[in-house]
Structure 1
Amino acid sequence: MNRRVVRLFSVGALLTGLLSACVPAPLRAQPNAQVQVQTALTPAPVQAVTGEGGLYRSPGPSALQLRTDRPAFVTAVLVPQSGGAQVFPVGAVAADTSVAVTLPGTRGFTQVFTVTSLQPLNLGAAAGARSLDEVARVVQQAAAPLPTGSYTVATTVYRVVSFGSVAVNASPSGSEVRVDGRRVGNTPLTLRDVPEGRVTVEVSRDGYDSVSQSVTVRPDATTQVSASLNRETGGLRVDSDVPARVLIEGQGAGGTPLRVRVRPGVINVNVVPLDPAARTETLLVRVNAHEDTSIVCRAAPEFTCSVR
């Protein structure tokens, strides 16, 4: 099987990596913090066919669940892809107690910064902020009077997108299907929960050349993918300094010089000189997929052939 896998970074995964790397220091988990906080979104995200995590249908997750390891004060700051930041003062929370923060509907990439401190912090000035730097300045100024290690931040990211379906059919049936490099099943196959946008669908089967297509998935629609796989082949070249006929597995293939495609494996090749006085050469030749195998024949001192 010749697999030419094309892996594409999804937009969401790329954005997550880039934005996480660019988060200002005041909005990151603080070193040597004396308080810790854990967060999780509810409900769970969609199990996307592409394997990308943190994806939700509109309007997005309903709540942020948080839990601190000691009594603390919590404020959640939501930064959507478009529009200003929203501030949710949670207030005092008891240790090891689950608290739910209701989240508004959003579109696209969203970050939630859960600021947890041992003393109350007023982060109201972050409301309406259009950048992470603005939010970070508010947090930094509010936390400046606190002793070192008195606050920390947990970052939660998700993306609200639309989903479509992809129906894959192939000849031969039963071929393996991968979406963005991730195995998802065998044909015929209908894939649901595929994020809108471009994805790469690869269809493969042992002994066949794989087929890879880039398709656009549209919201609430089914994209059809059809693939016809061709048998893997290797190249066979036969050259002779005297005219000769070539038989492959007992079947006439033509005269020298000969260039043909054959199935991989060990094959029987007969090279028959047109001169009746010269002997026929019979060879067992191994042909590898996607490689050329050469047979070279010479008449002197007697007709012989060799594989190169």
Structure 2
Amino acid sequence: MKHPNRRCRRWLLAAALVLVLAVIPAAGRADEPKLKLFVNPTPAFSAQVWVDRGEGSTYFPGENVRISFRTTRDCYVYILDIDPSGAYRWLLPSVWWKNNYVRANQTRTLPEGSYELTVAGPPGIEQIYIFASTRQLDMPYLEYSLRSGQFAPRIEANAEIIQKEIKARIQIVPSTYWVSDSTYFYVGSGAWPPAVTPPPAPQLLGAVNVSSSPSGARVFLDGQERGYTPIFIRDVPLGEHEVVLIMRGYHAVVHPFNVSYPGTFYITRNLQRIE
């Protein structure tokens, strides 16, 4: 059963690969991967794998990554992850996504459902390989991964041994039955940079000039005493306010007003003597 908001830690790429089946030219950054594993020289169909930010993009630990893939034939798909520490893991099929049979020309994206794939350290390069076959493949260590009860456990074997075993399993399949592809991204050092919060917009303020006849009345603005009339009060926020005037021997005056723009508002009241 899938659990909402559960995170599966992503593991990042191997810096050096021992068994090389094909070499692709280096381009771009100096640390860009120069090796490509398990290439079928005469494929009868194609498969593609990519990450949501594009090949060669950078993710920081704590960020989520999405992996998409598609094939041009109905087939079984296997996705292998290699992280900077040299750990190999099967992402598909897995205990969370056991169905690895896909239809032709349909894009599928991991994670599915309410899961997340979260990038972890160390910094370096992470590579992702896809193997697509019209026959089910007996991939090495895959049964262990599925029976472990964990998502994508690390394969406890030497990288060279893992590569040789994968090569041995796919070499027995006719070349017209399988194809592979790969992509990579960089894992930045440090934690995921938090979003930069722009400074708040400056608060718009007005002012109020309060006078009375006779003068000398106590002035309360929004319940706080501010002085005696006549008085000029600065920095009054925009919105609804209330002025109260109190003077011994006169009726109190309550005067609501609205500061609708950053200007000066004038309040003048005649006080009524108590008979």
The TM-score by the shorter chain falls in which range? 0.3 to 0.5
Q: Rg larger in 1 or in 2?
A: 2
Normalising by structure 2, report the TM-score: 0.45
- Report 1 or 2 for greater relative contact order, CA contacts < 8 Å, sequence distance ≥ 6: 2
Normalising by structure 1, report the TM-score: 0.41
Structure with the higher strand share, 1 or 2: 1
